[in-house]
Chain A
Amino acid sequence: MMSGMKHYKETADYINKMYNRQSQLDESLADQMRESEKIADATSQWRLMWRKFKRNRIAVVGGIVVLLFYLVALFGDFIAPYTLEQRMTRYSYLPPQRVYFFAGGRFQPHVYALETGRDPITLQRTYVPNPDKRIPIRFFVEGAPYKLFGLIPARRHLFGVEEGIISLFGTDGQGRDMFSRIIKGSQISLTIGLVGVALSLLIGAVLGVASGYYGGWVDNVVQRLIEIVRSFPPIPLWMALTAALPQHWSPLLIYFTITVILSLIGWTWLARQLRGKVLALREEDFIMAARLAGASDRWIIFKHLIPATFSHIIVISTLSMPSMILAESSLSFLGLGLRPPLTSWGVLLQQAQNTQVLLLYPWLMLPGVFVALSILAFNFMGDGLRDAADPYTV
């Protein structure tokens, strides 16, 4: 069975005639390829990835939303008209206000002043807008002091009102502006995912690459470890671990410990994926070539394996973010995660898990919409990245 036997017709003369050290044919072929596939001179894999990613409209939208979320979180203190501590108890459980943009044909954003009261029977708060009294919305208005990025003291807020209240998403029971709280909550909810993913990346990448590359007992130990970690159902294990947190710890410490706990389980997935990738890569000839060129293990791992898995790591991170965000909010919802005065989306939701909220103050569920939105955005983006990541499928 002579497989792959080709008909090799050229004579030696013919070969010599054709052969040219500058190999024009070869060159022009490559040029043609470049032309047809629009591969620029120094096309890096990142550019390729980016180009493919751009073509996926919905993924781009997801990416933009994610970016927007982080930008808002970064400048949250400036964008939010109120601080976390500002309570306007007069306006507790105020439904989202309607904003009017034109007054007398002129662009003048404003809200109506509110008459407050209580329903005599149900004792529910009532708010009647008074169309005769308009409260203009001012931009770059002086308000409660805050520290931008936690460093720069400032008083200016993107927008605000000088009297009454501006509450785009309504207020909670203490009269705190939900818009401001959701923005502040995003700072924790979105970073807890980042930190968690970063941590699980660290563990997962090191263990995954090591186990794939070295194989043998290293691989065995790591694989058993993964199996054991994986044989715990995540939510119960998270529950058990977070229940074990010393609760007199400072909120910040709790925050970090919870991210660590979240990543304790998150890493296994990454490690498995990377191990598989490395196992495949290890058999690639270019790894063999490097080895035969005398490269050390360290050289191979850091110069070849990790860069080669980088796009995967990014994709996996993006796709892990939703589960981190979800896990944080689920745990906080169960009362096992973050606690006030820390404010995350999960904490806000935990405070909203009442029948009366759904019946009477449904706007308090808005943080849930943002959880869903961010997860959706991350998923779309991650999905696009995943499709774009493979350098071979142009």
Chain B
Amino acid sequence: MCVACCIIDDHEKGETRMTGDNTILEVKNLTKHFPIYRGFLRRIVGNVQALNDVSFSVAKNETLGIVGESGCGKTTLIRVMMRAYEPTSGEMLFNQNGEMINIYSLNKRELKELRRHMQIIFQDPLSSLNPRKTVLEIIGEPLLIHGVARGQELKSRVSELLDMVGLSVKHLERYPNAFSGGQRQRIAIARALALQPQIVLCDEPVSALDVSIQAQIVNLLQDLQKELGLTYLFISHDLSVVEHISNRVAVMYLGSFVELAPSAELYRNPKHPYTEALLSATPIIDPDARRKRIILPGELPDPSNPPSGCKFHTRCNYAEEVCRTTVPAWEEVSPGHWTSCHLAKTLSLRGVLK
């Protein structure tokens, strides 16, 4: 597995760029504010800063994990990337045959074409599958929409997909409510893969499932990645799952990335106090290691009124004066390891992996 970690830093622009055309996706300064309307005239009185100046890139065949608490903006990120929401600013470049296309400049038809290459798996397989449609209809829908297949051909194509995700052909005419949670998620995966996408955005694909089944789905995703050369953007609040599947992991807090590093590096050697706190609460691999769980003080700040300086300072155990006043820069503290913390160089934080 080739992990692209030759990243060149560009402080001024605040963005990360990949060398070569190994990059499949590049997100630049993506920002999404939801306006808050108020009053008779529906004036905009504020913004919920759901996504703030997020930049990263994804290499082909890589899995980029994104973790964070619920409400940190993970789902917004996915939806903006899928152009379900229009971003407030920023761009996203997609590598189509070596050409980087900004998806926000596409028209409806071009966008529909692009959708073939980029698909999504939702968190809740129950709500992401129309309960009134059979498996055939659900998985076949993207194929029909794009005119890829129909009739008998559709059926055989869907059967292949079913086989690929480990379901039986005899399930074709069943409705989602006849399946268990794991099976439903397999159906959702089959649908996502129907159009042979290059990149799949996984929005907490296993968090609604039983623990035992989570593993099966994760492994299925990994197998599929190997087989089909897929690229994943894997979002979860569950650090252990992310660690298991990701090549690199990004940590999100309040709409911004606070740390991004190859997963082993991140888990072993976190550079951001928030990452440390997250990890401390995760019983990974070594249940016997008696680690002290770091309890974060305070509550998640209101995203429509984020704190000044470092957004995390209100809950950070290490916070100093500078954290309150100055926004920390997004810096590469070691090769491929990015963070935005004033104290990144001075603090020695505890990871989980030895």
Contacts and interface: CB of A to CB of B under 8 A. Distances in A.
Interface in A5-56: 5-12, 14-16, 18-23, 25-27, 29-30, 33-34, 39, 41-45
Interface in B227-266: 237-238, 240-241, 244
Given A292-B84, A293-B141, A5 B300 contact: no
Nearest to A287: B130
Contacts of B237: 2-5
Given A4-B207, A12-B244, A26-B216, A289 B122 contact: yes
A293 B166 contact: no
B241 A391 contact: no
A19 B218 CA distance: 10
Q: Which of B84, B123, B132, B283 has the most CB of A within 10 A?
A: B132
A16 to B, nearest CB: 7
A18 B146 CA distance: 37
Contact of A33 (B116, B141, B180, B216): B180
Interface residues of B, number: 66
B173 A41 contact: yes
Nearest to A289: B128
A8 B238 CA distance: 9
A6 B115 CA distance: 33
B238 A2 contact: no
Contacts of A39: 177-178
A284 interface: yes
B272 to A, nearest CB: 16
Nearest to B194: A293
A304 B130 contact: yes
Contacts of B216: 18-20, 23, 25-26
Contact of B183 (A4, A21, A26): A26
Contacts of A4: 70, 207, 237
A303 B133 CA distance: 10
Contact of B127 (A3, A10, A20, A286): A286
A66 to B, nearest CB: 25
B200 to A, nearest CB: 11
Contacts of A299: 145
Contact of B166 (A3, A21, A29, A285): A21
Nearest to A30: B180
Nearest to A14: B215
A1 interface: yes
A285 B219 contact: no
A88 interface: no
Contacts of A391: 131-132, 177
A18 B212 contact: yes
Interface of A: 1-12, 14-16, 18-23, 25-27, 29-30, 33-34, 39, 41-45, 284-286, 288-296, 299, 303-304, 307-308, 391-392, 394
14 contacts: A2-B237, A7-B283, A8-B211, A11-B285, A19-B220, A23-B186, A288-B79, A288-B120, A288-B122, A289-B122, A292-B119, A293-B191, A294-B142, A294-B146
